[in-house]
Amino acid sequence: MFMVTINQDKCVGCASCVDACPAKILGMVDDKADVIGDAADCMGCETCVGLCPNECFTIMEL
C-alpha cells in the first residue's frame, strides 16, 4: 500500500497530475491538486512524481 502526499504550497495548478494518474484519485480543489478519490487506490507508480513541474508529490510505501 502506498501513501501519496501533495505539497500544496508548491502546486502551480497545472492539473497535469490529475489527467495522468492511472488510479484517477487526483483532482483540483481551489486550483490545487488534492487526493479526491480513495487514497488506498494509489498504485505507487510515481507518474505524478515524474511529471509534476514543482516536485509536489511524495509517495511512501507503507
59 near ligand SF4, judged by CB under 6 A: yes
Toward ligand SF4, which CB reaches closer, 54 or 62?
Answer: 54
45 near ligand SF4, judged by CB under 6 A: yes
47 near ligand SF4, judged by CB under 6 A: yes
3 near ligand SF4, judged by CB under 6 A: no
Asked if residues 2 and 47 have their Cβ atoms less than 8 Å apart, the reply is: no
Rg (CA), the chain: 10
15 near ligand SF4, judged by CB under 6 A: yes
